[in-house]
């Protein structure tokens, strides 16, 4: 039920308009009604944001909601509650479900479930190929008509270069991008982490940076060939970032994203955990694909996010059941449950003065919207413009909190950050004019 | 150290083991997972304890009741002949009950998780779990969930600490101190848990360790580690340069599977370029030791004449393996709950 809400006295950052200053935000009928000084909020539910930051709700281009088929890991209800806690008011759902989101009926199921149970907006991403098998194109036109905002076989790369070329060309008829999980399987055979000294020490098989960089280079070449839009999922290496930088300089339609963990954690987390130390942990919660890389790669990703080479932050939220991580490292599932720690983790960059707060907000709001052109589907998305969706987040950038995975709304408790202190909290989340999260106040 | 051979005395009680006195033993470990964090003192303690165990093994009836009442389970997820037999014998010499569990034909094949298997074995009374596993890091997972002591008998590509300890014992037996000695490890370092564990112990004691292999069989990133991240070793892809002036040449097993992985073009070229043979060994220091963790592929990584030549200490390695594992089992049970209870009576039996 949407209500009249006024958010009073916060520092309002709306990167789309360039607004950055103290103001009130009024939300009516599920939409932004006004941003300004001393707005009339008579009868409205009031959220006191003095000393806090108010921004458009975050937009996540990359989340695994696991629904349908893998509801033991996550479902649309739990996944979107996790999103709300993390300040996200829009999540794009990846299609590696069971069955895959490769037909209109599965997309319709997702949208129906979302309408009935989701705390925040769900935008589906359709599969590129039937069954995500990498052989034959899925019915992209039907998927587009059903409401898909992009196509991806994420979890797996589109390995066949001709299929990728055809997918890019075919999807351009609907002006929708292909999101590619860039990984050359023959270079990443049996790999469970990044190749480097940590893998050498642990006796684990590593994937070289080139396993990511070579398909990135291929996709960019195909973007040039086709003129179509390719979005590189979760870049994680210096070389991949450089490829994207050059592609953008050439004016190609190439966009990209980076995860909070690739911006802040290195492969040493696999050995010693996010807190460091000497004891070998074989931390399965740090097993993720693409793998956590070297400090040099992390530095390159941070710099590229700051200079705009990387368009946005995306969580690659990948929830798993406890037993899928409580096992031998080689046998553990890939993925980090990331929606609820994304803002706190990214705030490390702001506190380290590697990225201004306003830039981080941009990379989590209008940045992802522009990357995929989501405002064509949801006008005003990622902004606080009058008439835009009533999606607003209230943040306390300096507040410390301790990550307690067992208290996540997500079913996936798989994070290497358990017990860590982060600085930066989501105080309240308003989605479509509804308060879907407020600290200290249980929201049903 | 007294060696008592009098049959009458033996009939009543076996003589004490001349193990290092508790006050000079800095052993605080509950588990033996790798040697990466072993101090010089700890390595010395294992060596001295092994001396005492060698003495026990030299007795007419090599049996002592030092670990009587202790249950040792060998839990092997991978085939092994010598390591398992060596641990089993070591436990039996010390009077422990030893139970062997294999992954095949057990609940493991029914899908039981490692943690559940560990807890089950603990529930039936295991004090020590000697574990061999094909996954790197598996003993670390077991140790985190076990009250029993976990002894790593080889995990994936990661570590094989008792092999490195017996290698060290063998080297010290022949050369004395290893400080300043050049140890060349030749072969498939990439897939070798033996090489990984040896790097730690040998460099901790001041040996110069040289790894020699084709670049495709060397771990990547060896030189990129920060201080303490990896042992400081030298890498040499030319075997003749590597062996020059070596005091120890350790050949590693070359598995035929590696051919299919494309790591080398074939056994013929590999043996031509990297086999430890008499001609190459002639470049080492006179009397240099030849070691091999076994089982050997004679004619591939090592020539028949060198494998069985005067400089080969391969059989001695195997023999020392029992004493080293006795020492490890004896030391590790000092810190298990049951071992702690009987500690005062142990060593004096």
Q: Tens digit of pLDDT for each residue in B207-245?
A: 999 999 999 999 999 999 999 999 999 999 999 999 999
Phi and psi of A220, rounded to 5°?
A: -70, -40
The reply to whether omega before B295 is within 30° of 0 (cis) is: yes
Model-level pTM?
Answer: 0.94
User: What CATH number should be reported for the domain holding residue B267?
Assistant: 3.40.50.1370
Q: B40-57 vs B193-204: helix axis angle to the nearest 10?
A: 110
Return d(Cα B107, Cα B112) in angstroms, integer. 6
Residue B109 pLDDT > 80: no
Residue B189 in any domain: the answer is yes
Confidence grade of residue B257 (pLDDT, cut at 50, 70, 90)? confident
What is the average pLDDT value for chain A, to the nearest integer? 97
On whether both B304 and B221 belong to a single domain, the answer is yes
Q: Range of B61's domain?
A: 7-158+319-345
> The dihedral of CA A284, A286, A289, A295: what is its sign?
negative
Residue A169 pLDDT > 90: yes
Query: Minimal Cα distance from A189: which residue of B?
Result: B261
Neighbours of B9 (CB within 10 A): 11
Sheet holding B234-236, edge to edge: B234-236, B208-212, B182-186, B248-251, B289-291
Which residues, including other chains, have CB under 8 Å from residue A418's CB and lie 6 or more apart? A285, A403, A404, A405
Residue B2 in any domain: the answer is no
Q: Which residue among B137, B140, B222 sits closest to A197, beta carbon to beta carbon?
A: B222
Range scoring the smallest mean pLDDT among A65-74, A86-95, A126-135, A431-440 = A431-440
Confidence grade of residue B21 (pLDDT, cut at 50, 70, 90)? confident
On whether both B217 and B78 belong to a single domain, the answer is no
> The dihedral of CA A54, A57, A63, A64: what is its sign?
positive
Q: Tens digit of pLDDT for each residue in B139-195?
A: 999 999 999 999 999 999 999 999 999 999 999 999 999 999 999 999 999 999 999
H or E stretch covering A269: helix A268-272
Neighbours of A250 (CB within 10 A): 11
| A330/B158 touch (CB, cutoff 8 Å), yes or no | no
| A278/B37 touch (CB, cutoff 8 Å), yes or no | yes
Per-residue confidence (pLDDT) for residue A316, from 0 to 100? 98
- From chain B, the residues in CB contact with A199 under 8 A are 219-221
Query: Minimal Cα distance from A204: which residue of B?
Result: B136
Residue B176 in any domain: the answer is yes
Q: Is A407 exposed, middle or buried (0-12, 13-18, 19+ CB in 10 A)?
A: exposed
Query: Minimal Cα distance from B157: which residue of A?
Result: A203
| A204/B196 touch (CB, cutoff 8 Å), yes or no | no
Residues of A marked active site are found at 316
On whether both B142 and B204 belong to a single domain, the answer is no
On whether both B258 and B331 belong to a single domain, the answer is no
Query: Minimal Cα distance from B219: which residue of A?
Result: A200
H or E stretch covering A28: strand A19-28
Min CA distance, B3 vs chain A (Å)?
41
Count of domains for chain B: 2
CA-wise closest residue to A235 among A212, A253, A252: A212
Range scoring the smallest mean pLDDT among A96-110, A184-198, B42-56, B91-105 = B91-105
Half-sphere exposure of B103 (CA within 13 A, CB side): 14
Residue B170 in any domain: the answer is yes
Q: Which residue among B114, B137, B141 sits closest to A202, beta carbon to beta carbon?
A: B137
Which residues, including other chains, have CB under 8 Å from residue A267's CB and lie 6 or more apart? A193, A194, A196, A198, A199, A291, A292, A293, A294
Query: For the residues B40-58, what does the mean pLDDT come to?
Result: 96
On whether both B304 and B328 belong to a single domain, the answer is no
Q: Tens digit of pLDDT for each residue in A353-366?
A: 999 999 999 999 99
Per-residue confidence (pLDDT) for residue B13, from 0 to 100? 59
On whether both B184 and B306 belong to a single domain, the answer is yes
Interior angle at CA A77, CA A71 and CA A78, nearest 5: 70
On whether both B165 and B299 belong to a single domain, the answer is yes
On whether both B267 and B323 belong to a single domain, the answer is no
On whether both B166 and B144 belong to a single domain, the answer is no
**Cα distances (angstroms) measured from residue B187 to each of B210, B248, B271:** 11, 14, 10
Which residue(s) pair with A81 in the sheet? none
On whether both B54 and B74 belong to a single domain, the answer is yes
Fill in the DSSP letter of residue B14: P
On whether both B110 and B229 belong to a single domain, the answer is no
H or E stretch covering A431: strand A421-431
Residue A46, both tokens = 């009031």
| B229/A327 touch (CB, cutoff 8 Å), yes or no | no
Which B positions 286-305 lie with beta carbon below 8 A of chain A? Answer: none
The answer, for B220 touching chain A at a CB cutoff of 8 Å, is yes
- From chain A, the residues in CB contact with B140 under 8 A are 280-282
Per-residue confidence (pLDDT) for residue B345, from 0 to 100? 43
**Cα distances (angstroms) measured from residue A169 to each of A176, A257, A392, B241:** 10, 22, 36, 56
On whether both B127 and B70 belong to a single domain, the answer is yes
Q: Tens digit of pLDDT for each residue in A237-273?
A: 999 999 999 999 999 999 999 999 999 999 999 999 9
Per-residue confidence (pLDDT) for residue B261, from 0 to 100? 81
Per-residue confidence (pLDDT) for residue B113, from 0 to 100? 92
Q: Which CATH number fits domain A57-380+401-421: 3.20.20.140, 1.10.630.10, 3.40.50.720, 3.40.50.2300?
A: 3.20.20.140
Half-sphere exposure of A242 (CA within 13 A, CB side): 10
The answer, for B113 touching chain A at a CB cutoff of 8 Å, is yes
Q: Which residue among B135, B193, B220 sits closest to A331, beta carbon to beta carbon?
A: B135
Return d(Cα A103, Cα A263) in angstroms, integer. 34
H or E stretch covering A348: helix A342-351
């Amino acid at each position: 039920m949407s209500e009249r809400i006024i958010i009073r006295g916060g520092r309002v950052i709306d990167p789309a308009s360039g607004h950055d200053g103290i103001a009130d935000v009024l939300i009516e009928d599920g939409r932004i009604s006004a941003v300004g000084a001393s707005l009339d909020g008579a009868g409205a539910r009031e959220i006191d944001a003095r000393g806090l930051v108010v921004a458009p709700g975050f937009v996540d281009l990359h989340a695994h909601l696991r629904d349908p088929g893998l509801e033991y890991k996550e479902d649309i209800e739990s996944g979107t509650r996790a999103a709300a806690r993390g300040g996200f008011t829009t999540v794009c759902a990846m299609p590696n479900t069971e069955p895959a989101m490769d037909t209109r009926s599965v997309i319709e199921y997702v949208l129906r479930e979302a309408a009935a149970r989701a705390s925040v907006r769900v935008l589906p991403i359709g599969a590129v190929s039937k069954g995500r098998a990498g052989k034959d194109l899925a019915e992209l036109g039907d998927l587009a008509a059903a409401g898909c905002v992009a196509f991806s076989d994420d979890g797996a790369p589109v390995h066949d270069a001709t299929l990728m070329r055809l997918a890019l060309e075919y999807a351009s008829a609907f002006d929708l991008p292909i999101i590619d999980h860039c990984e050359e399987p023959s270079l990443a055979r049996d790999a469970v982490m990044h190749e480097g000294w940590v893998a050498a020490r642990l006796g684990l098989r590593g994937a070289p940076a080139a396993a990511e960089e070579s398909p990135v280079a291929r996709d960019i070449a195909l973007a040039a060939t086709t003129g179509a839009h390719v979005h590189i999922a979760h870049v994680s290496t210096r070389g991949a970032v450089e490829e994207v930088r050059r592609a953008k300089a050439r004016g190609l339609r190439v966009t990209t994203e980076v995860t909070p963990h690739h911006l802040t954690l290195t492969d040493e987390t696999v050995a010693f955990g996010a807190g460091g130390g000497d004891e070998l942990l074989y931390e399965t919660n740090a097993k993720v694909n693409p793998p956590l890389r070297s400090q040099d790669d992390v530095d390159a990703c941070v710099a590229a996010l700051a200079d705009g080479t990387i368009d946005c932050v995306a969580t690659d939220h990948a929830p798993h059941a406890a037993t899928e991580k409580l096992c031998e490292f080689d046998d553990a599932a890939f993925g980090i449950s990331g929606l609820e720690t994304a803002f706190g983790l990214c705030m490390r960059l702001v506190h380290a003065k590697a990225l201004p707060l306003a830039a981080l907000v941009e990379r989590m709001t209008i940045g992802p919207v522009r990357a995929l052109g989501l405002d064509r589907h949801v006008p005003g998305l990622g902004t606080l413009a009058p008439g835009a969706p009533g999606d607003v987040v209230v943040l306390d950038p300096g507040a410390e909190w301790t990550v307690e995975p067992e208290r996540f709304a997500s079913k996936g408790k798989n994070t290497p950050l358990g017990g860590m202190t982060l600085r930066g909290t989501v105080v309240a989340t308003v989605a479509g004019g509804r308060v879907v999260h407020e600290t200290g106040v249980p929201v049903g | 150290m007294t060696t008592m051979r009098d049959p009458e005395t033996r009939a009543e009680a076996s003589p004490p083991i001349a193990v290092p006195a508790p006050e000079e033993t800095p052993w605080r470990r509950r588990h033996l997972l790798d040697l990466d964090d072993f101090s010089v003192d700890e390595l010395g303690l294992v060596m001295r304890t092994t001396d005492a165990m060698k003495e026990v093994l030299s007795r007419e009836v090599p049996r002592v009741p030092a670990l009587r009442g202790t249950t040792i389970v060998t839990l092997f997820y991978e085939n092994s002949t010598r390591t398992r037999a060596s641990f089993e014998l070591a436990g039996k010499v010390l009077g422990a009950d030893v139970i062997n569990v294999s992954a095949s034909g057990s609940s493991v094949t029914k899908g039981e998780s490692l943690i559940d298997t560990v807890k089950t074995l603990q529930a039936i009374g295991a004090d020590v779990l000697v574990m061999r596993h094909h996954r790197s890091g598996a003993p670390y997972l077991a140790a985190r969930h076990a009250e029993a002591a976990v002894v790593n008998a080889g995990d994936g590509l990661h570590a094989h600490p008792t092999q490195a300890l017996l290698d060290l014992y063998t080297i010290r037996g022949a050369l004395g101190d290893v400080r300043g000695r050049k140890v060349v490890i030749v072969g498939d370092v990439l897939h070798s848990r033996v090489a990984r564990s040896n790097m730690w112990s040998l460099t901790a004691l001041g040996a110069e360790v040289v790894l020699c292999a084709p670049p495709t069989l060397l771990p990547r990133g060896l030189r990129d580690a920060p201080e303490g991240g990896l042992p400081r070793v030298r890498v040499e892809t030319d075997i003749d340069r590597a062996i020059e002036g070596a005091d120890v040449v350790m050949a590693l097993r070359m598995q035929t599977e590696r051919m299919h992985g494309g790591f080398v073009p074939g056994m013929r070229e590999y043996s031509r370029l990297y086999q430890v043979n008499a001609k190459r060994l002639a470049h080492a220091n006179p009397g240099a030791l030849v070691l091999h963790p076994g089982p050997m592929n004679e004619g591939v990584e090592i020539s028949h004449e060198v494998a069985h030549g005067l400089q080969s200490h391969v059989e001695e390695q195997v023999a020392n393996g029992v004493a080293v594992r006795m020492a490890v089992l004896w030391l590790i049970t000092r810190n298990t709950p049951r071992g702690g209870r009987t500690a005062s009576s142990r060593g004096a039996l």
